[in-house]
Amino acid sequence: MHLRLYLRLLAPLLLILALGGWLAMNVTEELTERWFLRDLGLRGNLIANAQSDTISKVLVNGQWERIHALFERTIRDERLSAIALCSTDGLLMHRTKDFPTDLDCAQAHALQRSGNVELTLPLGKVMLGIFPVSTEEHHIADLVLLHDLAFVERRTRLSQQYLLVFMLMMGLTVALLIVLLTQYNWRRWNLALRTMLNPASNTLAAPPEFRSFMDDLRTRLRDLEDHYRHGQYSDADWTAERLRSLLASHLHGDELLVVSNREPWTHERIGDALLVRQPASGLVTALEPVLQACSGTWIAHGSGNADRECVDAADHLMLPPGQQDYRLRRLWLSEEEVRGYYDGLSNEGIWALCHLAHVRPVFREADWQHYRQVNQRFADAVIAEARSHNPVVLVQDYQLALVPALIRQRLPEATILCFWHIPWPTPEAFGICPWRNEILQGLLGSTILGFQTRHHQQNFLATVERFLEARLETERSSVFHAGRETLVDSYPISIAWPATAPDSARQRQLGRETLGITAGQKLILGVDRFDYTKGIEEKFIAFERLLEKHPEWIGRLCLLQLAAPTRSSLADYAALSERVARRAMQINNRFGRPGYTPVTLLVEHRDQAAVRALYGAADVCVVSSLHDGMNLVCKEFAATRDDEQGVLVLSSFAGAARELGEALSINPYHTESFADTLQQALCMHPAEQRERMSSLRRQIHDANVYLWAGRMLEDAARWRLQARMHERLHRYQHS
- Mean pLDDT over 175-198 rounds to 70
Report pLDDT for 729: 65
The H or E element containing residue 488 is strand 484-490
Q: What's this model's pTM, rounded to 2 decimal places?
A: 0.68
Do residue 73 and residue 139 come from a single domain? yes
Report pLDDT for 306: 93
Rounded-to-integer distance, Cα 80 and Cα 60, Å: 27
- The answer to which of 385-389, 392-396, 505-509, 668-672 has the lowest mean pLDDT is 505-509
Beta strands across the sheet bearing 92-95: 92-95, 80-87, 139-148, 124-134, 118-121
- The torsion angles phi and psi of 488, rounded to 5 degrees, stand at -115, 120
Report pLDDT for 630: 92
Q: Which of 34-38, 106-110, 217-221, 340-344 has the highest mean pLDDT?
A: 340-344
Arithmetic mean of pLDDT over the chain: 85
Q: Which of 497, 498, 490 is CA-nearest to residue 229?
A: 490
Is the pLDDT at 223 greater than 60, yes or no?
A: no
Do residue 677 and residue 596 come from a single domain? yes
Q: State the pLDDT confidence band at 64, using cuts at 50, 70 and 90.
A: confident
3-state secondary structure of 685: coil
Q: Contact, 456 vs 420, CB < 8 A?
A: yes
- At 679-709, the pLDDT tens digits run 999 999 999 999 999 999 999 999 988 888 8
Rounded-to-integer distance, Cα 362 and Cα 723, Å: 41
* CATH code at position 65: 3.30.450.20
Cα–Cα–Cα angle for 370, 371, 372, rounded to 5 degrees: 90
Do residue 278 and residue 380 come from a single domain? yes
- At 442-453, the pLDDT tens digits run 999 999 999 999
Residues 51, 55, 57, 58, CA torsion sign: positive
Q: State the pLDDT confidence band at 209, using cuts at 50, 70 and 90.
A: low
Alpha-carbon distances of 637 from 237, 438, 537, 619, rounded to whole Å: 20, 39, 21, 11
The H or E element containing residue 540 is helix 536-549
Q: Name every residue whose Cβ is closer than 8 Å to that of residue 82 and which is 6 or more positions away in sequence.
A: 75, 95, 96, 97, 98, 99, 100, 123, 126, 145, 146
Do residue 516 and residue 618 come from a single domain? yes
Cα–Cα–Cα angle for 494, 499, 501, rounded to 5 degrees: 165
Rounded-to-integer distance, Cα 398 and Cα 439, Å: 9
- Mean pLDDT over 2-15 rounds to 69
Residue 354 lies inside a defined structural domain of this protein: no
- Mean pLDDT over 224-232 rounds to 51
Do residue 521 and residue 642 come from a single domain? yes
Q: Contact, 319 vs 395, CB < 8 A?
A: no
Rounded-to-integer distance, Cα 42 and Cα 45, Å: 5
Report pLDDT for 200: 39
- At 246-273, the pLDDT tens digits run 777 777 667 889 999 999 999 999 888 8
Alpha-carbon distances of 211 from 186, 216, 217, 474, rounded to whole Å: 15, 9, 10, 11
Q: Which domain holds residue 391?
A: 240-333+374-490
- Give the residue with greater pLDDT, 666 vs 42: 666
Cα–Cα–Cα angle for 664, 545, 622, rounded to 5 degrees: 30
Q: State the pLDDT confidence band at 207, using cuts at 50, 70 and 90.
A: low
- Give the residue with greater pLDDT, 316 vs 167: 316
- Give the residue with greater pLDDT, 230 vs 724: 724
Q: State the pLDDT confidence band at 648, using cuts at 50, 70 and 90.
A: very high
DSSP 453: S
Is the pLDDT at 656 greater than 90, yes or no?
A: yes
Is the pLDDT at 221 greater than 90, yes or no?
A: no
Rounded-to-integer distance, Cα 701 and Cα 698, Å: 5
Report pLDDT for 532: 92
Domain final residue, candidates 446, 462, 490: 490
Report pLDDT for 116: 75
Do residue 481 and residue 514 come from a single domain? no
**pLDDT over 70 for what percent of the chain?**
87
Cα–Cα–Cα angle for 349, 409, 429, rounded to 5 degrees: 25
Is the pLDDT at 663 greater than 90, yes or no?
A: yes
Report pLDDT for 203: 39
- The answer to which of 35-49, 76-90, 227-241, 390-404 has the lowest mean pLDDT is 227-241
Is the pLDDT at 231 greater than 70, yes or no?
A: no
How crowded is residue 6: how many other Cβ atoms within 10 Å of its Cβ? 15
Do residue 566 and residue 692 come from a single domain? yes
- At 302-332, the pLDDT tens digits run 989 999 999 999 999 999 988 888 999 999 9
* CATH code at position 688: 3.40.50.2000
Residue 667 lies inside a defined structural domain of this protein: yes
Is the pLDDT at 202 greater than 50, yes or no?
A: no
Name beta bridge partners: 84: 95, 144
Do residue 547 and residue 687 come from a single domain? yes
How crowded is residue 235: how many other Cβ atoms within 10 Å of its Cβ? 6
Work out how many domains the chain is built from and give that number: 3
Q: State the pLDDT confidence band at 228, using cuts at 50, 70 and 90.
A: very low
Residue 141 lies inside a defined structural domain of this protein: yes
Residue 498 lies inside a defined structural domain of this protein: no
Q: How many helices (H) and strands (E) does the chain have?
A: 22, 23
Give the E-state strand segments of 39-198 in sequence order. 80-87, 92-95, 118-121, 124-134, 139-148
Report pLDDT for 403: 98
3-state secondary structure of 388: coil
The C-alpha torsion from 308 through 310 and 316 to 318, rounded to 10°, is -150
Do residue 481 and residue 598 come from a single domain? no
Residues 641, 642, 646, 651, CA torsion sign: positive
Residue 342 lies inside a defined structural domain of this protein: no
Do residue 424 and residue 461 come from a single domain? yes
- Give the residue with greater pLDDT, 232 vs 654: 654
Q: State the pLDDT confidence band at 562, using cuts at 50, 70 and 90.
A: very high
Residue 65 lies inside a defined structural domain of this protein: yes
Q: List alpha helices for 121-149, DSSP H.
A: none
Q: Which of 320, 336, 282, 724 is CA-nearest to residue 528?
A: 282
Residue 138 lies inside a defined structural domain of this protein: yes
Domain final residue, candidates 462, 490, 518: 490
- Mean pLDDT over 583-602 rounds to 95
DSSP 505: H
Residue 630 lies inside a defined structural domain of this protein: yes
Report pLDDT for 119: 79
**For residue 421, how far is the Cα from the chain centroid?**
21
- Mean pLDDT over 101-109 rounds to 85
Do residue 399 and residue 456 come from a single domain? yes
Q: State the pLDDT confidence band at 201, using cuts at 50, 70 and 90.
A: very low
- At 113-162, the pLDDT tens digits run 887 777 777 767 888 888 888 877 778 888 888 887 777 777 777 777 77
Rg, Å, the chain Cα set: 45
Domain final residue, candidates 425, 457, 490: 490
Do residue 525 and residue 458 come from a single domain? no
Name the amino acid, one letter, at 135.
T
- At 288-305, the pLDDT tens digits run 777 777 788 999 999 899
